[in-house]
Structure 1
Amino acid sequence: MLAFVALWPAPGVAEGVMVLGALLAIAKLAMARFRGGVSLLSGPAWALTSVLFFAYWLPQLLSATDAVDQGRALRESLIDLRYLPFLWLVAIAVADERGRRLTLVGLAVIVAVWTVDALLEVVLGTSPLFAGIDGLKQLVSGRPMCTAEELASADRLSGVLGPCNLKLGVVLASLSPFALHAAGRRWALAGWLVAATAIGLVVLFAGSRASWLTYALVLLLSGWRLLGWQRLAGVFAFGALAVLVLAFLSPEVRQRVDRTTQVMAADQSGMDSALSGRSRIWGAALCMAGEHPVNGVGVRGFRDAFADCDPLPGKQPAWGEGPALHAHQLVLEVLSETGVLGLLLWLAGAALAWRAWRYADAASRDRARPAMQALVVTVFPLNTHLAFYSTFWGGLTLMLAALYAGSLLARRGD
């Protein structure tokens, strides 16, 4: 699992590692012949991991029956079955104390290394890690990781993921609970504050405004137990001041702050500009949900259905050329692509995850707290999101769900 995360800068290689992990899980289960399953993972953890997967996967399958692009929706559903054994493997990795320590500390180390690398990019103008990966790619294939157009259009700190994959901010924001938890346990309050500041700076430079909100939620969930409400309020005050200073020093940060203030405009154009065209996308998503209420337009069918539901046909969109690729919001993505059936299944999965937390004892909650925080902030519905039914963000979300289930419902006697 750690190799899967560490290789995200090379998506094709990471995907291959994930498939190998799924095959390894199948082999382990075959050797145990399922009779020794409880020795790998507790019965409740098997159940919760599987249920969370099916709450994600069944909407895909149901949406394929009459999807706009039926072949693609069905193909996506069949391909995503590979996630189930991989999730079992992730849950097994954190089912005992030793495995959990190695996995969670490993994730914290990855976040720390990527954070330091991004801070070096602020100083040097380039990411040392990405430069090394790009050099290796050119040595092997003769081609760079990113095209000249992608390099020219990069408008934020890209870090190890590179200017052709501008997701560093949202990725670090979602994974930051693991680093903050490790720093707090190892160096107490001072460690937490240093880690929170370093990651926060990178998220400000590298992230979209959605990642800013995600990281604010992380600080809230992670900090109140360690700092208390008064000192946590001081952290947020310091963060607000840092945003103002960086907005003065950095044109990129200032542009995002200025765009956010446009939400105060009374007219629709100001609101749409502040949301980078997302109000238009959300209007199209609601149209799709209204026209296909039962099971949606099909997973990854948003782009094909967009033209028929575009509230402003013929007008140049804020995001550039072409149709919107997804709804940019979890609830609207599920509703438009998988309909009411899909939303009910997602809600059922969320309810069962909450029920498991509610009835767990204090020790179990402490074990699962970093994974719980990472999962909660990633799926927080009052935010904008990457596509949850894409390979990258769907894989990250399911991995967090498996870490949560495996940590919370660890093997008996752990």
Structure 2
Amino acid sequence: MTSFAATSRAILCSPLTPFWLVVALLPFGRSAELGTLLCLIGLLWQCRHGMAPWRDRRGAALLLVLLAAYVGAALWSAFDAVAPAKSWSSVAGLLRYVPLGLYACLVIRRTDRLYALYAGVAAVLALWVLAAWLQIVTGWSPRGVATGEYLTGLFGNDLKFGPTLAVLSPFALWAARMRWGGRGLLVAFLLLLGPVLLAGSRSAWLCYALVGLAFAWREAGTTRRFLGLCAAG
């Protein structure tokens, strides 16, 4: 019991906790913003103690360039939007990724923390996939009975389950590859494939296909072996 309490305390006090919370709370709507808020608080605390994220200039610069491209596209489209109020609110909402990203530049500098983040996100995805397969087999999930045409798992009536799972799937595939090797990677890929397909989102299918190609290329090592894997798939 003491060991469990110490482990739980260490997880809760970890600087990576806000990121795990963002992912874990995604099925529950706006509650995921709690993790973003904690990132903002953590960023302000770090800056107050002289640990500014811009000291790692390469990471912060890359982050800001990517966010500028992302937010800039939304900003450009907002000027000629059919629903201006909604578009401008979306642009403002995108700015919350700035403190989240800068906080990441601060706390995910060491390799061990990066691997811990991957493992934590993979554990959350494992729960999502377990709930999804439960819904596939029985028609029931912890969020209620499946009555629609699409698989939603822990996301309830939210149809973002498929795209979200596909986007985050590299974390689970990486963790499986590191823990169980190539066979583990293949099993994890197939376990994720079912929920992604049954979620009924074409964007999720495309995203997961790209993830699969990226991992196949990494595993193959050569163009010939990569083409062979693609042909076998």
Q: Which category of TM-score, normalised to the shorter sequence, fits these structures?
A: 0.7 to 0.9
Secondary structure of the structure 1 residue equivalent to 2:98: helix
Q: Equivalent residue for 1:186? A: 179
Aligned equivalent of 1:207, options 200, 204, 211: 200
Assess, with a 3 A threshold, how the Cα gap between structure 1 residues 85 and 216 changes in structure 2: closer, same or farther.
same
Q: Quote the residue 1:155 is aligned against.
A: 149
Q: Alignment partner of 2:151: what SS?
A: coil
Report the counterpart of residue 46 of structure 2 in structure 1: 28
| Alpha-carbon distance between aligned partners in 1 of 2:38 and 2:76, rounded to the nearest angstrom | 27
Q: Does the 8 Å CA contact 2:24/2:124 hold for their aligned counterparts?
A: yes
Cα separation, 2, equivalents of 1:87 and 1:9: 21
Query: Counterparts of 1:320-359 in structure 2 under 5 Å?
Result: none
1:6 lines up with 2:24 in the alignment: yes
Is the contact between residue 173 and residue 189 of structure 2 (CA under 8 Å) also seen in structure 1? yes
Aligned-partner SS, 1:155: coil
Q: Distance in 2 between the 1:70 and 1:211 partners?
A: 28
Q: Which residue of 1 aligns with 2:125?
A: 111
Superposed CA deviations along residues 5-57 of structure 1, whole A, max 9, x for unmatched, are 110111121123323322322332233273x853xxx2100111111112222
Match of 2:114 in 1: 100
User: Structure 2 CA distance, aligned partners of 1:103 and 1:15?
Assistant: 18
Closer/same/farther in 2, CA of residues 61 and 156 from structure 1, 3 Å limit: closer
Q: Deviations over 1:308-337 (max 9, x none)?
A: xxxxxxxxxxxxxxxxxxxxxxxxxxxxxx
Note the 1:12-91 alignment, pairs <5 A: 12-32=30-50, 34=52, 37-38=54-55, 42-64=56-78, 69-91=83-105
The answer to whether the 8 A contact 1:180-1:192 is kept is yes
Task: Give distance in 2, aligned partners of 1:208 and 1:61.
Answer: 26
Secondary structure in 2 matching 1:9: helix
1:160 CA drift (Å): 1.0
Find the aligned partners of 1:70 and 1:206 in 2 and give their Cα distance.
Answer: 31
Deviations 1:134-164 (A, max 9, x none): xxxxxxxxxxxx9xxxx75x211111111x1
- Consecutive unaligned residues of structure 1, counting only runs of 5 or more, are 132-145, 237-414
Q: Deviations over 1:201-240 (max 9, x none)?
A: 1212223233222222211111232243224432x2xxxx
- Greater relative contact order (Cα 8 A, min sep 6): structure 1 or 2? 1
Give the Cα separation in 1 of the matches to 2:36 and 2:159.
22
Q: TM-score w.r.t. structure 1 length?
A: 0.46
Query: For 2:164 and 2:118, how far apart are their aligned partners in 1?
Result: 16
Aligned with residue 123 of structure 1, among 134, 137, 144: 137
Q: Which blocks of at least 5 consecutive residues in structure 2 are unaligned?
A: 1-18
| Residue type at the aligned position of 2:32 | A
Kept in 1, the 8 Å contact 2:51–2:106? The answer is: no
Distance 1:124 1:52, change over 3 A: same
For 1:188, give the aligned amino acid. Answer: G
- Separation in structure 2 between the aligned mates of residue 167 and residue 72 of structure 1, nearest angstrom: 19
Separation in 2, partners of 1:61, 1:216: 30
Contact 1:170 1:214 in 2 (8 A): yes
Question: Match of 1:207, SS?
Answer: coil
How many residues align? The count is: 210
* 1:170–1:207 Cα contact (<8 Å) kept: no
Q: Deviations over 1:264-304 (max 9, x none)?
A: xxxxxxxxxxxxxxxxxxxxxxxxxxxxxxxxxxxxxxxxx
Q: Percent identity over the alignment?
A: 34
Asked if the contact 1:156/1:207 (under 8 Å) is kept, the reply is: yes
The answer as to whether partners of 1:29 and 1:37 remain within 8 angstroms in 2 is no
Q: Does 1:222 align with 2:215?
A: yes
How far, CA to CA, are the matches of 1:62 and 1:225 in structure 2?
36
* 1:63-93, Cα deviation, whole Å (9 max, x unpaired): 5556555554444434432221111123334
How much is the aligned-residue C-alpha RMSD, in angstroms? 2.5
The aligned counterpart of 1:233 is 231
Residues 357-406 of structure 1, C-alpha deviations (whole Å, 9 max, x = no match): xxxxxxxxxxxxxxxxxxxxxxxxxxxxxxxxxxxxxxxxxxxxxxxxxx
